[in-house]
Amino acid sequence: MAWIYIEDAGRHVGEKVTLKGWVQRLRSSGKIKFLIARDGTGVMQCVIAKQDSEQAFQEADALTQESSVIVEGVVRKEERAPGGFELTVSRLQAVSIAENYPITPKEHGVDFLLRNRHLWLRSSRQHAVLRIRAEVMKACRDYLDGLGFIEVSAPIFTPSASEGTTTLFETKYFDETAYLSQSGQLYNEAAAMAFGRVYCFGPTFRAEKSKTRRHLTEFWMLEPEMAYADLETVFEVSEGLVTAVVERVLERRVRELEVLGRDVSLLERVTPPFGRMSYDEAVERLRAGGFDIEWGRDLGAEEETFLSESFEKPTFIHDYPAEAKSFYMEPTPGGDKTVRCTDLIAPEGVGEIIGGSERISDLALLEKRIDDHGLPRGAFEWYLDLRRYGSVPHAGFGLGLERTVAWICGIKHIREAIPFPRTIYRVYP
């Protein structure tokens, strides 16, 4: 008998099939039992009637929440059932009877749920978020691959910082010290000089000592890098990417967005062109809104939240003060204090989801910046080589996967946007 996945049930109406899954709920009313089974692709109501199968009816007695089961029966169309189909059961086999399952339909505290993250993944909301995450990852790759980018993976063990020395994770590396990568950018720059347009997509690490709803210590970043490109290219590619990703989720993850109760009309507004605003303008707006912000400082979470609440669409803030940003950014032509960089701020109070910039291509200037930032020149010799051998204007950006997923899903905290979140106080499970 054919084993099918629940998501394919619509193609098997009237057929006898096998489902392999787990018990989400079981309810009994006299001579009928309703088993809500899930198999990772969906949920299906399985109707167990004594008259159809004495065996199944008996076997069902032992089932508990999250017991694993193999169910045989005929698929029928049933508008009222979750998913639109149900199974008339003819045989049931308990594979493993679950012990008392800790996560029940009642409310649990977040700390409890995080300690049980390995089980919490099975819950419908978490399941929906992570299906959307997978769709976002695929959409990112499809979009960039479609433009002709090559995926070149960056290393995790690195000899130096790229995004400031205060958030570095240090690790013993035999007789040396290594650092976990904060960003694949510097390696991407080397790859861009070899392949033209590249991206890396992998975990990055920051020893974030603050506990906020938008910081993880381990998060995933998608980083495109382009040779012969400037900040305009960053605007174009990132706008196209974010639009394509949102479109894809709206198209393929309707059910998951529904489970999350997401207001999709807010996502449907995500169309080009996105807004653009200089740092100077942002500071003016913030001051008008009552923020006491000094020119020269990077924008903080509260400030980004304030700004993003007034946006309908994602908005680029660009040309930040050099002193607020990383060492490798190209100065704004004609302006001596700002650099050609941009942060993309998502609407609905979400804040920054992308950070990007044009990179310094001049050797002497880059050497000076490395020294000014107190970075060890020796660890950057290879990076300086990229300016010694055929240097060209180039640019790129990094999209924070979990922040993007949290925004699309409409969830407040990014810890739910990654399967196993790592934060300052949590490395378990």
Q: Which residues bind Mg ion (CB under 5 A)?
A: 355
Looking at residues 207 to 246 of the shown chain, list those that interact with ligand 4AD (rule: CB under 6 A): 208, 215-216, 219, 221, 223
Residues 6+ apart with CB under 8 A from 224: 144, 149, 188, 197, 198, 199, 237, 241, 396, 397
| Site track for ligand 4AD across 143-182, x = CB under 6 A | -------------------xx-------------------
Quick check: 192 binds ligand 4AD (CB under 6 A)? no
What are the angstrom distances between the C-alpha of 368 and each of 181, 326, 363, 376? 23, 13, 9, 12
Distance in Å, CB of 168 to ligand 4AD, minimum? 13
Quick check: 396 binds ligand 4AD (CB under 6 A)? yes
Q: For residue 273, say if its preceding peptide bond is cis, omega within 30 degrees of 0.
A: yes
Distance in Å, CB of 358 to ligand 4AD, minimum? 10
Closest CA to 326 of 186, 180, 134, 135: 186
What are the angstrom distances between the C-alpha of 175 and each of 157, 172, 178? 14, 7, 10
Contact window for ligand 4AD (CB under 6 A) among 70-78, 308-316, 349-357, 362-370: 349-357
What do you get for the CA distance between the two ends of the chain, in Å? 38
Q: Which residues pair with 320 in a beta bridge?
A: none
Quick check: 183 binds ligand 4AD (CB under 6 A)? yes
Quick check: 248 binds ligand 4AD (CB under 6 A)? no
Q: Would you say 6 or 399 has its CB closer to ligand 4AD?
A: 399
What are the angstrom distances between the C-alpha of 331 and each of 74, 360, 395? 67, 8, 13
Residues 6+ apart with CB under 8 A from 429: 115, 116, 117, 118, 420
Quick check: 352 binds ligand 4AD (CB under 6 A)? yes
Rounded CA-CA distance 118/74 in Å is 33
Q: Which of 398, 407, 409, 416 binds ligand 4AD (CB under 6 A)?
A: 398
Q: Would you say 36 or 345 has its CB closer to ligand 4AD?
A: 345
Quick check: 353 binds ligand 4AD (CB under 6 A)? yes
Q: Would you say 34 or 169 has its CB closer to Mg ion?
A: 169
Closest CA to 141 of 199, 73, 203: 199
Residues that bind ligand 4AD (CB under 6 A): 162-163, 183, 185, 206, 208, 215-216, 219, 221, 223, 352-357, 396-398, 400, 402-403
